[in-house]
Structure 1
Amino acid sequence: MNLFELYNVLKDGQKGRNNFLVTVIQGNGTGSRYFLADGEVKAQCGSGDIETERLWELVQPGESGIAEADGRRLFVESLKQPAHLVICGAGHVAQQVILLAGKIGFTVTVLEDRVSFAGEALRAGADQVICDSFENALKQIPGSEDTYFLVVTRGHRYDRVCLEAILKKPYAYVGMMASRGRSALLKKQMEEDGFDRKVLDEIHTPVGLDIHAETPEEIAVSIVSELIKEKNSVRKTSGYDAELLDYLTGEKEPDTKKALATIVARRGSAPRGIGTKMLVLEDGRIIGTIGGGCMESEVQHLCLRMLHEESAQGQIFTVDMTASQAEEEGLVCGGTIQVFMEVI
């Protein structure tokens, strides 16, 4: 199996739980990959001589980093599903949340029972809009450990309908826009009807970080800030976004030479986390970012050199951003990162 084929399998299977990609980054078989899911190796390319049992011994859900096996260094990625934001309601605040959430990588689904507001959600940029009663619409949302629910309906009775359905599903986050008094009353009623008080108290309500927001735009900023905080508290790598996978699977520009740079280790307050990726095309264009500044530019030029020299062997590059260097580049953080670069 070649890399294009492996990434096509990964693209189809990335939405599952506890999926991993193991890459040999140093030693025999550098560049070999193993995509692990559902207790087995779903796809592999390269030398493929690491035993399946040994691979599963190396992985830990939610943990990503460098491991060693048979004298080789491996980068083990615990893949995160693309974050899915489900918004119940499409009023003025919801429309502003749609605009912001899409910009930071959420796939946004909106549930709305009013045709006119459903249309506004589409115009705001929602990826999917289900125009039906909240009860029926939520039956179409299975939920997952990477699904974020936001309840911003127009009335108390709709909030309850949504929460009763949502709390029976798997989820990463549940937030509800309501006053403290309205939230307390609703929780009390639901507890009396048999819902676990501990589960009810985990609902983020009033929703959003406390920044004294007043306008729909400001409230949306506070909500999305809280979503970012919750999403990034999970110790998984960023996985592969849709645009990156379009290039890695050959769907876009299959004949263009490419080099992939991945942060495999970090120390200190480096700007981006483990698993962050940047694809460098032979004409110098980049897809994604690993932090910007001179550091990213240097990695970009190294990738271009590898493409020019047609270097088949991947290599690890260490970037040491001391506080003074970071200040010179206008970055707010320093630290050290290791980047694995390879021609795709």
Structure 2
Amino acid sequence: MIANAYKSLLNELDAGKKAVMVTIMNDKGNDRNVSPEKILLTEENLRVYTSIDKLDTLIYQKAQYALETGNIQFIKEQDTITYLIEPYFPEPRLIVLGGGHIAKPLVELGARVGFLVTVIDDRPSFANKERFPDAEKVICESFEKCFNLFHINKSAYVVIVTRGHRHDMDCLRKALKYHAAYIGMIGSKRRVKSVKEQLLSEGYSQEQLNKVNAPIGLDIGAVTPDEIAISIIAQVISYRRLANTLSGSAASPKINWPELDRTVLEELSKGENDPKAVVTVASTKGSVPRKAGAKMLVWPYGKTLGSIGGGCSEGEIIHIARDVIRDGGHRVHSIDMTGEVAEEEGMVCGGVMEVLIESCDK
């Protein structure tokens, strides 16, 4: 079932792992009206080539490339089979240890640029939803015990901005035990040097300490809490978007962070037997409102979930989706946002989107 594939996908993402969903569509004759098939490939599947049903070596290699780069692959094999290969990366999580004056603007900025934010402080007056309305989670617990209440993995970005030297040390000791995408700690150069010397004496390696960004943030001369928060979130973004460059891995391809709409994936994982269509931006060229991978669900009675950009182009796709729901199978439709027609329709973009519409009734 399609629902099982999306349940498994969400499980991988929640574990902080990447995955690739391969959609196989038969383009021959009446087979076009058969619902596409989904195959989920995990990071473990893609590490070493193994024989997987219905996937030849080329498709397997394309899936590996999608996982490495975050770039969706849309492959048409001479009017016989079409493959949509979608990479999925776990949502980036910003873990803010400390709920003080820097944390407040930092949480707001982090949520605004797409991070799921967790704030931890041991003071009820600082660790509450009223103070941090943009945070996904606000945890009131001691810094010694709080690490059991959230997950730190390769998609987590840890910021240590507690109210005191001892708490910073406690948090750093624990954070270094995990493989986070980023660890940063506030403090002056003198204080940071003292912390690193102490941890070296405790047995932490120089390699571990070299991964800590301290003093935290980009050097922009920040002084106020808002400015310091901007410098921190800018550094965190650079680690998210420029991971290969920062690690010195020139051989690795540039990573694109693919679109992910969790509400759409959760709806697809429910397995409810109600007819609907899944709309996916399969490829783009030029200036378009959404990147490849953006998704939308369409029901026959007009309800929609998610978006591929809005406007008249989306209205056209909704109309086609209703036909696909009625007839089954899939369609590929091109939305041209260039030229006089687009201008007359008021489109501000100037590119082309290739959109896949597939039936999904279970």
TM-score, normalised by the number of residues in structure 2? 0.73
Residues 318 and 337 of structure 1 are in contact (CA less than 8 Å); yes or no, is this contact kept in structure 2? yes
Q: Tell me the equivalent position of 1:45.
A: none
Decide whether aligned partners of structure 1 residues 127 and 152 sit closer, same or farther in structure 2, where only a CA change above 3 A counts. Answer: same
Whole-angstrom distance in 1 between the partners of 2:237 and 2:339: 26
Q: Tell me the equivalent position of 1:37.
A: 42
Residue of 56, 66, 90 corresponding to 2:74: 66
Which letter does structure 1 place at the counterpart of 2:319?
A: L
Aligned-pair CA distance for 1:204: 3.4
Decide whether aligned partners of structure 1 residues 304 and 68 sit closer, same or farther in structure 2, where only a CA change above 3 A counts. Answer: closer
Residue of 252, 259, 263 corresponding to 1:238: 259
Which letter does structure 2 place at the counterpart of 1:277?
A: K
Q: Describe the SS at the equivalent of 1:117.
A: coil
- Residue 318 (1) aligns with residue 339 (2): no
Residue of 81, 86, 89 corresponding to 2:95: 86
Q: Describe the SS at the equivalent of 1:116.
A: coil
Per-residue CA deviation, residues 94-147 of structure 1 (Å, 9 max, x unaligned), is 233333434444332222222322235775343333433323212444421111
Decide whether aligned partners of structure 1 residues 73 and 330 sit closer, same or farther in structure 2, where only a CA change above 3 A counts. Answer: closer
Which letter does structure 2 place at the counterpart of 1:65?
A: Q
Aligned-pair CA distance for 1:169: 0.5
Whole-angstrom distance in 1 between the partners of 2:186 and 2:353: 39
- Residue 247 (1) aligns with residue 267 (2): yes
Residues 95 and 124 of structure 1 are in contact (CA less than 8 Å); yes or no, is this contact kept in structure 2? no
Q: Tell me the equivalent position of 2:106.
A: 97
- Residue 203 (1) aligns with residue 207 (2): no
Decide whether aligned partners of structure 1 residues 123 and 110 sit closer, same or farther in structure 2, where only a CA change above 3 A counts. Answer: closer
Decide whether aligned partners of structure 1 residues 159 and 303 sit closer, same or farther in structure 2, where only a CA change above 3 A counts. Answer: same
Per-residue CA deviation, residues 43-92 of structure 1 (Å, 9 max, x unaligned), is xxxxx961598864542133342346795231222221122221111113
Residues 261 and 306 of structure 2 are in contact (CA less than 8 Å); yes or no, is this contact kept in structure 1? no
Aligned pairs (5 A) from 1:144-293: 144-191=153-200, 193-209=202-218, 213-233=222-242, 234-241=255-262, 243-250=263-270, 258-268=276-286, 270-282=288-300, 284=302, 286-292=304-310
Residues 142 and 169 of structure 1 are in contact (CA less than 8 Å); yes or no, is this contact kept in structure 2? no
Q: Describe the SS at the equivalent of 1:342.
A: strand
Which letter does structure 1 place at the counterpart of 2:308?
A: I
Q: Describe the SS at the equivalent of 1:115.
A: coil
Q: Describe the SS at the equivalent of 2:258.
A: coil
Q: Describe the SS at the equivalent of 1:263.
A: strand
Q: Describe the SS at the equivalent of 1:134.
A: coil
Q: Describe the SS at the equivalent of 2:90.
A: coil
- Which 10-residue stretch deviates more, 114-123 or 84-93? 114-123
Whole-angstrom distance in 1 between the partners of 2:61 and 2:140: 46
Report how many aligned residue pairs link the two structures.
330
Aligned-pair CA distance for 1:21: 0.7
Q: Tell me the equivalent position of 2:250.
A: none
Aligned-pair CA distance for 1:38: 6.5
Residues 98 and 121 of structure 2 are in contact (CA less than 8 Å); yes or no, is this contact kept in structure 1? yes
**Identical aligned residues as a percent:** 29
Whole-angstrom distance in 2 between the partners of 1:224 and 1:285: 37
Decide whether aligned partners of structure 1 residues 110 and 323 sit closer, same or farther in structure 2, where only a CA change above 3 A counts. Answer: farther
Q: Describe the SS at the equivalent of 2:127.
A: helix
Residues 110 and 121 of structure 1 are in contact (CA less than 8 Å); yes or no, is this contact kept in structure 2? no
Residues 107 and 132 of structure 2 are in contact (CA less than 8 Å); yes or no, is this contact kept in structure 1? no
Decide whether aligned partners of structure 1 residues 248 and 142 sit closer, same or farther in structure 2, where only a CA change above 3 A counts. Answer: closer
Q: Describe the SS at the equivalent of 1:59.
A: helix
Aligned-pair CA distance for 1:166: 1.1
Whole-angstrom distance in 2 between the partners of 1:164 and 1:118: 22
Decide whether aligned partners of structure 1 residues 6 and 198 sit closer, same or farther in structure 2, where only a CA change above 3 A counts. Answer: closer
Aligned-pair CA distance for 1:244: 1.7
Aligned-pair CA distance for 1:303: 2.5
Which letter does structure 2 place at the counterpart of 1:287?
A: L
Aligned pairs (5 A) from 1:116-135: 116-119=125-128, 124-135=133-144
Q: Which runs of 5+ in 2 are unaligned?
A: 47-51, 243-254
Residues 307 and 343 of structure 1 are in contact (CA less than 8 Å); yes or no, is this contact kept in structure 2? no
Which letter does structure 2 place at the counterpart of 1:33?
A: K
Per-residue CA deviation, residues 144-202 of structure 1 (Å, 9 max, x unaligned), is 11111111111222222212221220111222333445444434544555544454344
Higher relative contact order (CA 8 A, sep 6+): 2
TM-score, normalised by the number of residues in structure 1? 0.76
Q: Which runs of 5+ in 1 are unaligned?
A: 42-47
Per-residue CA deviation, residues 274-332 of structure 1 (Å, 9 max, x unaligned), is 3222334445554333345x5xx313422233215624232223345459969x9685x
Aligned-pair CA distance for 1:210: 5.5
- Residue 341 (1) aligns with residue 342 (2): no
Whole-angstrom distance in 1 between the partners of 2:54 and 2:130: 49
